[in-house]
Amino acid sequence: MEKAIDRQRVLLQHLGFTSLSSPQPHRSDISVSVCSAGDSGAYERTAGFGDDIAIVAACRTAICKSRRGGFKDTPPDDLLATVLKALIDKTNINPSEVGDIVVGTVLAPGSERAIACRMAAFYAGFPDTVPLKTVNRQCSSGLQAVADVAVCIKAGLYDIGIGAGVESMTIDQIDQPRQINPKVDNFPQARDCLLPMGITSENVARQYGVTRQEQDQAAVESHRRAAAATASGTFRDEIIPVSTKIMDAKTGKSTSVIISVDDGIRPNTNMADLAKLKPAFKADGCTTAGNSSQVSDGAGAVLLMKRSLAMKKKLPILGVLRSFAAVGVDPAVMGIGPAVAIPAAVKSAGLHLDDINLFEINEAFASQYVYCCKKLDLNPEKINVNGGAIALGHPLGATGARCVATLLHEMKRRGKDCRFGVVSMCIGTGMGAAAVLERGDCVDQLGNVGAVDDNGLLSKDAL
């Protein structure tokens, strides 16, 4: 720290300032808290460097097609146990040090899945002293779990936590509520909360002018990128192999297998074949099975702690959680959620959209994905560079944790030219969520980032 301050003092002297505390011609608050933070923004560094909420490990299972894929005979607690154990194996922390495990999960009845998740923690080797809870904010549940853990660590409730997600859409399907309050007809937006997700996709396409061709092209690109990432081994660092069994429905015999590859990717997907598919939700619609996310099984998990503790334990820091935002939108067009949530999260981090190097935006439906990217005027080369949910699949409760793992490992691969990333998704009943993450090895010892209203320095390199 002293060396950094000395360097800053020399710089200020070269700029014509005789001391750090004397009056200065360009601005009155120049101090050692102003230092480099990227090419396009000025940031204030504080002494809270050690309080950064660091992610030291993030992993996932492969994502498999429900009812037909590699996990069709695998209990969801086995999927969750695999990624929980992997976090411990990767970091060698004592499981008893974990203050809480928060698991995003959506479709199963709450008490039933909460019990299964608690059992998974025992399978993974956690002692009974480590508590666990489940959280359900629908498609953002895995990301919400990560955010909840980060908040608790920041508040000092515990030092180490795990945010995770799991879903078996083989076992649990999307169903309408068992009982519906009759007053819903007097509240149009409450009524729209009951719309099938596919109808909300059609609403987005119609209301915002997203064509069938645009949707099918997004699907082709998702599969192309996912296939390329798989072929090159890109996902190896994030996928934890699962030892399980697959039963032959005809013979009833089980075969032991190790599942380590996403099995929903179709490398040969093309526009001609997609054009042959009929609309899935409306006879005159444009949302098809080919340009929607796949129904899938999978799990993901993220290990968080303060940067100071990670440094003390000599753990590599994969990323830092800079902000999180959840927003509400019209339930009838719930897919627009990321277009509102992303600007909110980016602003909260003291950044601009142009500062973001990579985006992981969940492809619930191509209609809403295309709309959000166009609305925010995002560079297609920055978004879902390894494919998205149309190709990989969307195990609802696990998707948020999966996206965090995929994003951070890709940022690590890209190195110094990739500093900030965003994870975002739409949420059923009309919401959106987003988080801003910073690559963990690119923050110097002067601390956190926060917005600076203006600066009196000479070049972007000094901002």
pLDDT in tens, the chain (463 residues): 555 555 555 444 544 444 444 444 443 333 333 333 334 444 444 446 789 999 999 999 999 999 999 999 999 999 999 999 999 999 999 999 999 999 999 999 888 999 999 999 999 999 999 999 999 999 999 999 999 999 999 999 999 999 999 999 999 988 777 789 999 999 999 999 999 999 999 999 999 999 999 999 999 999 999 999 999 999 999 999 999 999 998 899 999 999 999 999 999 999 999 999 999 999 999 999 999 999 999 999 999 999 999 999 999 999 999 999 999 999 999 999 999 999 999 999 999 999 999 999 999 999 999 999 999 999 999 999 999 999 999 999 999 999 999 999 999 999 989 999 999 999 999 999 999 999 988 754 434 444 444 444 433 333 3
Is residue 181 included in any domain, yes or no? no
Per the DSSP assignment, residues forming a β-bridge with 101 are 132, 162
Q: What is the pTM of this model?
A: 0.86
Q: Side chain identity at 263, as an amino acid letter?
A: D
If asked whether residues 22 and 156 sit together in one domain, one would say: no
What CATH number is given to the structural domain containing 106? 3.40.47.10
Determine, yes or no, domain membership for 182.
no
Per DSSP (E only), the strands in 229-342 are 242-247, 254-259, 296-306, 319-328
Choose among 156, 169, 160, 162: nearest CA to 135: 162
Residues 26 and 64 in one domain: no
**369 and 461 both lie in a single domain:** no
Residue 62 in domain: yes
CA separation for the pair 362, 424 (Å, rounded) = 6
67 & 77 share domain: yes
Give strand pairing partners of 451.
Answer: 43
Look at the chain and report how many structural domains it folds into. Answer: 2
Range of the domain at 47: 1-51+443-463
Please check whether residues 137 and 12 belong to one and the same domain.
no
Is position 324 within any domain?
A: yes
Residues labelled catalytic: 139, 394, 426
3-state SS track over 328-361: ECCHHHHHHHHHHHHHHHHHHCCCCHHHCCEEEE
